[in-house]
Structures are given as C-alpha cells and as structure tokens.
Copies of this chain bind each other. A is one copy, B any other.
Amino acid sequence: MNAGILTIGDEIVAGFSVDTNSVWLAQELLRKGIIVAVKASVPDDREAIEEVLARWDGQMELVITTGGLGPTRDDITKTAFCRYFDSELRFDEEYWEVLVERFQKRGFEIPGSNRSQAEIPVKAEVLPNPVGTAPGLKFQSGTTTFLVLPGVPMEMKAIMTEHFQPGLGDGEAISWTTVRTTGIIESALAAQLEPLVSSFEDIQVAYLPAYTGVDIRLRSSTTGDKGRKMIESAARKLEALVGDLTYGRNDASLEEIVGGSLTRRQETLALAESCSGGLTASRITDIPGSSAYMLGAVVAYDNAAKERQLGVKPETLKAHGAVSEAAAREMAEGVKSVFGADWGVATTGISGPTGGTPEKPVGLAFLAVAGPQRTVARETRLLPYRLPHKAATAQAALNLLRLEIMRLA
C-alpha cells in the first residue's frame, strides 16, 4: 500500500510552523506496513488543495491531509473536499451538543464560530475527535481512501489512533529498524561499518546524522517473517561492531533508557548543569514517572552558584576555571551530595557565541558523572554553535551516565 501526505496551511508553507504531523503520520504508517511515497504542503487555497487531490486520486491507495479544519475563516480544507467530491454540508445537531458540553466542562461558553465545526459533508464519514472540536472526515474514491484530519497534533494523533485500522495482514509489513548511535561522526561511522554493510544483501542502509548522534536505518524489501529475521540479524551484527556507541533502537531516547535503569535499580539522580542550562533536566523530566528517580537539578550559570549551591571549591575555580575537568568533577560530586542522590551528573562548557579563548574555545565541554563507586569525567569538543552545543552536551552527559550505569549492571 502506498500513501501520500498533504499538509495544508499558509503557516506550513510560509514557514510559520514546523510540520511535525507528517513525521508522526509517516512513522505510524510505516509501523502498519504502509510506505509514504510522497509528501506535499500547500497553502489554505482551495485550488491548490484540489490540484493535489486530483493528482493523487487513483495513484495512491491512501491520502491523508492535515490542517485547515479550524473554526476561523482561513480554514478552507472542508470546502475544497466538498467541491472535489461534489458534496453538500449538513449541520450535525448531535455533534454540536457534544461540543457545547465539552466547552462547559472547561468553564467556557462556546464561541459561535465553532458552529462551522459541526457542519459535515454528506459524502463523508465522521471520525470523532476525542480531544478537540474539529472532527476528522473519511472520503472514498475508487481504490483511494482520503482521511481528512485536523492540524493540531494531539487531535490528529487521537483520531488516527482511535479510527485508523488499515486492512492489512501483518505479513505484508515491510521490515526495518533503526540503530541509534552517539559519540561518532557520520563519515567515521560509515567508514567503520563499510565492510559489513557491503556484505548485506537486499538491505538498504541509511545514515541519519543529527547534533545528538547518527541513526543507522536498515530496511529490506523482503516482507513478512523472512524480512524481519534478515533485518534483525543485520542489526545485531551492526550493533556488535559499534559496541557501546549504540544506545538503542528506533525512538529510544537516552532519558528513557537511563530512567528505566534507575527505576529498576531503585536509584536516584541529581544534575548540575552549567552550559547545558537546564536542557538535561528538561529531557529527564520529559519521561512520565521520572519523579520516582529525579530528585532535582541545579543550573549553576554563575560561579557563585557553583560554589554556594554545589560546594565547588573557590580554589578549583581559581586554578582551573569553571570550564575544567576539576570543576566538572566537583559539580557532579557536589550535586550528588547536596540532593542525597545515588548519581550526580555535571556539565560545564562554552556554548558561545562569546566566552571562548585560544586554550578554551567555544565548543569545549566537560562532563562528569559521580556514581556509587567512582567519579569519571570527559572532555569533549562539540559544535561551536550555541544551540547545537547545548543539545550535544546534554546528550553526551546522558550518554556518560548510561555507560557508567551499564558498568555496574
């Protein structure tokens, strides 16, 4: 089954918002064995929408659109579909009552503009929206199914999850997996893996670099059990070769992995962040249930804070500077002790744009982990640009924590 995803909205095309919907949708479809062949984005423009519908009608088995179903006058998607399918609208009293009630529960009176969201094309099937006001719609044209979804990510996901079950046997799903790595650049990783990768048959390998590491995606056109076994065997060989550079598969994240280990070990964590500025703590606390092991963090941007809140010695700062291995070690041990945690993690570095010197250039960072048995520290040279540097530092700190926990396991 092949599919096309069309995201609709002036804001998407003009660059006012990032399209995360099509990413989620493509992953969701891939899990169900459906490959997205093409994506497109058009403005809130009836003709531009109809042009894509006409091009994909018959060519794709599944077309999903997101966006343009809101209550305001710039939302035109429903109109475009009504015209393309030559369908009238009917006012759905029952659905209107649902909306009125939902607003009442949150303590609001429903604005009149929301009435348009209860107008349903007669040729469409309604896909109820469990978390928002715009229902999803389903149209059928020959062999092509059209799903029309709202642009608000949470609403789009809820409708897809509740209502979309493709009529496909498991056996037809294509086989793929992603091996996630961190701490090595793309070309070095590819060079290391080249002999293995060129021995693969019917397996495509793609390297997906990001500031936080390189993902390696393996895909085979062989379907079913046979394909799954081929991919699994290839992924294991690859994992054996890269060793502890890999931390997981697919959408695994370091915060989730570290969180899982700490939960199982019934150990606790505290963070001392300088250059990563709270980003590491924010990633840890993104995980549901993190309050079981996350005691807290000190973002010590200021030297005085490093001394007072974390017990870093003034002599250390004087002799080595705040961006030093010695300071990182004392920060990690300090935060561990102050919070009474089993693990303390520290970052200190120069994210820029200013603050660099010839000896300590922008991009430099030190990481430290103080654990139940020992304290380790690492010096790294990361990208000399502020946001990538923050992202890479947080990732490197979480990775060092992962490696230290593994050592004890």
> Which chain A residues have a beta carbon within 8 Å of chain B's beta carbons?
10-20, 22-30, 35-44, 48, 70-74, 106-108, 110-114, 133, 152, 154, 178, 185-188, 190-191, 194, 204-210, 215, 217, 219, 271, 273, 276-282, 284-286, 288-291, 294-302, 304-305, 308-309, 338-340, 352-355, 381, 383, 385-388, 390
Contact = CB atoms under 8 A, between A and B. Distances in A.
Contact of A301 (B44, B219, B290): B290
15 contacts: A12-B39, A15-B25, A15-B26, A15-B29, A15-B30, A19-B23, A70-B209, A107-B381, A111-B187, A111-B190, A271-B278, A278-B299, A285-B299, A289-B354, A296-B309
B295 A296 contact: no
A273 to B, nearest CB: 8
Given A14-B26, A296-B309, A277 B288 contact: no
A285 B23 contact: no
Nearest to A341: B302
Nearest to A22: B15
Contacts of A338: 308-309
A302 B190 contact: no
Given A206-B10, A277-B282, A298-B297, A15 B36 contact: yes
A277 to B, nearest CB: 3
A113 B288 contact: no
Most central of A20, A277, A354 by chain B CB within 10 Å: A277
Given A15-B23, A284-B277, A390-B286, A190 B72 contact: yes
A204 B44 CA distance: 11
Given A106-B381, A387-B286, A206 B113 contact: no
A185 B11 CA distance: 18
Given A15-B30, A299-B281, A301-B290, A111 B188 contact: yes
Nearest to A188: B111
A106 B380 CA distance: 12
8 shortest interchain CB distances as A-B pairs: A15-B26, A277-B285, A278-B281, A278-B278, A297-B299, A15-B27, A278-B282, A39-B41
A285 B394 CA distance: 13
B40 A39 contact: yes
A11 B354 contact: no
Contacts of A288: 352-354, 386
B27 A13 contact: no
Contact of A38 (B24, B40, B297): B40
A104 to B, nearest CB: 14
Given A16-B178, A190-B71, A298 B291 contact: no
A114 to B, nearest CB: 6
Contacts of A295: 301-302, 304-305
A108 B208 contact: no
B190 A113 contact: yes
A291 B302 CA distance: 7
Nearest to A302: B295
A13 B289 CA distance: 32
A23 B18 contact: yes
B11 A16 contact: no
A286 B217 contact: no
Given A70-B209, A111-B188, A278-B285, 10 more contacts: A10-B206, A39-B40, A72-B207, A113-B194, A154-B383, A273-B278, A278-B297, A286-B386, A295-B301, A298-B309
Contacts of A290: 277, 301
